[in-house]
């Protein structure tokens, strides 16, 4: 049994299990809420319940006072939903967030193609227009798999009736295995979206650095295609990381863009090229390619990171040591079931990192 909790003013939606606290569920699902002590004594995580019922849990009477209880305030670190909830938290809405409503779609698979030995591209025709911001993702309902699976949209928003997804086959992953092995052209899937806070902060005029690893190329691809289509003049740098040449997909697309758009720069990096690749480009991890290109000085940029958690982690460290900080770093982590197993204590130092 779980409840759906909508967090205003951003509209993020999280699933909270029976007996789980709102804060725990939010942090595990990548939604940041203010918090400090984590056990009901400090009140940093106080939120207002707008709709629904919640058990206040072990909130200290000094941290959550009677008048506040009467007003429907709860502490997210110890409150447990008793129904679906809408809560209002002390968090900021990004001025660049368009807030397109989440809609249900039916998608018909029109094409599937190997992009690399482990990644397939899927193209769907949608039954209605999908309004989204480049960088956001959709959820797919996969037959026989409980819950939904999230995939970032790789096409640009102006192609609103198609949906391009890049899917890496996760070893032992039920959803990605089904997509790779079972899904046939002509079949339909239930899709919902758009979701997520990963999008280009266009109101910020700083040059943009995109760092992508594996199938995490999808979001940056959409973002870059969108910016270039709009005639955006800022400098755009795409660092694409892959293990070897065969895994480096869509290279021709970006080399073509680089020839046509003087403000677009494409820097592929292979961390383990094969001898037969005869690789002349950057050898090493993708964050190292960025460090080399910018001589370890990243301030004055916006950075967008998309890919597996270890890549994101290494990239954040590289960027911060190069003097670019949380407010200018945006990311989408591609978690798989395997990533969730290593839980660690979180400090309250960063909001989103």
Partner 1 sequence: MAANKLNLKDKYRLLTRDLDWEFSYQERKKAFPFEEFEGIKITDWSKWEDPFRLTMDAYWKYQAEKEKKLYAIFDAFAQNNSQLNVTDPRYINAIKLFLTAVSPLEYQAFQGFAHTGRQFGGVGARVACQMQSIDELRHVQTQIHAMSHYNKFFDGFQDWSHMHDRVWYLSVPKSFFDDARSAGPFEYLVAISFSFEYVLTNLLFVPFMSGAAYNGDMATVTFGFSAQSDEARHMTLGLEVIKFLLEQHEDNVPLVQKWIDKWFWRGAQLLSIVGMMMDYMLPNKVMSWKEAWGVYFEEAGGALFKDLARYGIRMPKYVEQVQTEHMSHQLWWTMYTHGHATGFHTWIPTDEEMDWLSEKYPETFDKYYRPRWELAKQMEAEGNRFYTKALPQLCTTCQIPMLFTEVDDPTQLSFRDTVYHGERYHFCSDGCRDIFHEEPEKYVQSWLPVHQIFQGNCGGPGVEQVLSEYYGMNLGADNLDIKGSPDEQRWNRWKGVA
Identify the residue among 320, 333, 335, 336 touching partner 1 (CB under 8 A): 320
Tell whether residue 106 is a contact of partner 1 (CB under 8 A).
no
Q: Output the smallest distance, CB 28 to partner 1, in A.
A: 15
- Residue 232 or 328: the one with the smaller Cβ distance to partner 1 is 328
User: Cβ distance 183 to 112 under 8 Å?
Assistant: yes
Tokens found for residue 181: 């092995």
Would you call 230 exposed, middle or buried from its count of C-beta atoms within 10 A (0-12, 13-18, 19+)?
exposed
Binding piece for partner 1, criterion CB under 8 A, among 161-169, 198-206, 213-221, 319-327: 319-327
Give the interface size with partner 1 as a residue count (CB under 8 A): 33
- Residue 36 or 185: the one with the smaller Cβ distance to partner 1 is 36
Footprint (CB under 8 A) of partner 1, residues 48-67: 60-63, 65-67
Footprint (CB under 8 A) of partner 1, residues 242-271: none
Tell whether residue 323 is a contact of partner 1 (CB under 8 A).
yes
Tell whether residue 116 is a contact of partner 1 (CB under 8 A).
no
- Residue 4 or 68: the one with the smaller Cβ distance to partner 1 is 68
Question: Per-residue string for binding with partner 1, 162-201, x by CB under 8 A?
Answer: ----------------------------------------
Angle at 330 (CA atoms; ends 3, 29), nearest 5 degrees: 15
- Residue 42 or 245: the one with the smaller Cβ distance to partner 1 is 42
- Residue 29 or 48: the one with the smaller Cβ distance to partner 1 is 48
Whether the bond between 77 and the residue before it is cis, its omega within 30 degrees of 0, is no
Backbone angles phi, psi at 267, to 5 degrees: -130, 95
Helix (H, G, I), strand (E, B) or coil at 70: helix
237-260 per-residue burial string, b: 16 or more CB within 10 A, e: under 16: bbbbbbbbbbbbbbeeebeebbee
Residues in the chain, total: 353
Tell whether residue 231 is a contact of partner 1 (CB under 8 A).
no
- Residue 34 or 284: the one with the smaller Cβ distance to partner 1 is 34
Tell whether residue 344 is a contact of partner 1 (CB under 8 A).
yes
CB half-sphere exposure, 289, CA atoms < 13 A: 25
In whole angstroms, give the CA distance from residue 65 to residue 284: 55
What DSSP designation does 230 have?
T
Tell whether residue 296 is a contact of partner 1 (CB under 8 A).
no
- Residue 44 or 155: the one with the smaller Cβ distance to partner 1 is 44
Q: Output the smallest distance, CB 240 to partner 1, in A.
A: 23
Helix (H, G, I), strand (E, B) or coil at 14: strand
Q: Output the smallest distance, CB 90 to partner 1, in A.
A: 5
Beta strand pairing call for 188-195 and 282-283: unpaired
Beta strand pairing call for 2-8 and 12-17: antiparallel
User: Cβ distance 166 to 155 under 8 Å?
Assistant: no
Identify the residue among 13, 37, 112, 145 touching partner 1 (CB under 8 A): 37
Identify the residue among 4, 15, 42, 112 touching partner 1 (CB under 8 A): 42
Nearest-CA neighbor of 270 among 241, 304, 293? Answer: 241
In whole angstroms, give the CA distance from residue 76 to residue 22: 5
Binding piece for partner 1, criterion CB under 8 A, among 42-50, 126-134, 240-248, 251-259: 42-50
Bridge partners, residue 316, by sequence:
none
Residue pointed to by tokens 């820097």: 267
Stated as kind and residue range, the H or E segment containing 327 is none
Q: Output the smallest distance, CB 244 to partner 1, in A.
A: 29
Q: Output the smallest distance, CB 62 to partner 1, in A.
A: 4
State the residues that interact with partner 1 by CB under 8 A: 9, 34, 36-37, 41-44, 60-63, 65-67, 90, 92-93, 99, 316-317, 320-321, 323, 325, 344-350, 353
């Amino acid at each position: 049994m779980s409840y759906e909790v909508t967090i205003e003013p951003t509209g993020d939606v999280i699933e909270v299990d029976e007996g789980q606290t709102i804060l725990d569920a939010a942090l595990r699902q990548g939604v940041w809420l203010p918090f400090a002590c984590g056990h009901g004594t400090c009140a940093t995580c106080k939120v207002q319940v707008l709709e629904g019922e919640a058990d206040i849990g072990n909130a200290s009477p000094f941290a959550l006072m009677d008048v506040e209880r009467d007003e429907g305030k709860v502490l997210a670190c110890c409150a447990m939903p008793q129904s679906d909830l809408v809560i209002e938290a002390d968090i900021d809405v990004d001025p660049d967030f368009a807030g397109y409503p989440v809609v249900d779609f039916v998608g018909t698979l029109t094409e599937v193609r190997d992009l690399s030995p482990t990644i397939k591209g899927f193209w769907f025709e949608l039954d209605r227009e999908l309004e989204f911001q480049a960088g956001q993702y959709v959820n797919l309902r996969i037959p026989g798999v409980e819950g939904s699976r999230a995939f970032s949209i790789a096409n640009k928003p102006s192609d609103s009736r198609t949906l391009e997804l890049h899917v890496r086959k996760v070893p032992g992953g039920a959803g990605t295995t089904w997509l790779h092995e079972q899904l046939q052209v002509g079949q339909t899937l239930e899709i919902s979206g758009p979701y997520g806070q990963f999008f280009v902060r266009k109101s910020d005029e700083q040059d943009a650095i995109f760092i992508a690893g594996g199938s995490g190329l999808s979001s940056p691809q959409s973002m870059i295609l969108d910016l270039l289509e709009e005639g955006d003049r800022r400098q755009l740098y795409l660092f694409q990381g892959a293990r070897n040449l065969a895994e480096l997909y869509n290279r021709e697309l970006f080399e073509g863009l680089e020839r046509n758009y003087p403000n677009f720069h494409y820097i592929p990096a292979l961390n383990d090229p094969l001898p037969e690749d005869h690789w002349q480009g950057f050898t090493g991890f993708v964050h190292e390619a960025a460090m080399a290109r910018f001589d370890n000085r990243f301030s004055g940029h916006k950075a967008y990171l998309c890919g597996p958690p270890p890549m994101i982690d290494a990239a954040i460290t590289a960027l911060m040591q190069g003097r670019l900080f949380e407010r200018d770093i945006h990311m989408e982590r591609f978690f798989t079931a395997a990533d969730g197993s290593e839980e660690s204590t979180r400090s309250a130092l960063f909001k989103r990192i």
